[in-house]
Amino acid sequence: MVIFNRGFLCPFVKSLIKLMIKYNLKNVNILKVQNIGLY
């Protein structure tokens, strides 16, 4: 994706990756809380 139009897509891809990382961290935290609750 970034290769085709680097100037336009780079900021979008970076922000998308940041969002994905935030979402993944949230999911990991939720999973940890659920595991602690289960055990």
pLDDT tens, 1-39? 445 555 666 777 788 888 888 888 887 777 776 666 654
What pLDDT sits at residue 4?
56
What pLDDT sits at residue 1?
47
What pLDDT sits at residue 27?
76
Measured distance CA(8)–CA(30) in Å, rounded = 34
Cα 38 to Cα 13, 23, 25, 33, 34, distances in angstroms: 37, 22, 20, 9, 6
The whole model's pTM is what? 0.46
Q: Which of 5, 4, 25, 23 is nearest to 15 (CA)?
A: 23
CB proximity list for 9: less than 8 A, separation 6 or greater: 1, 2
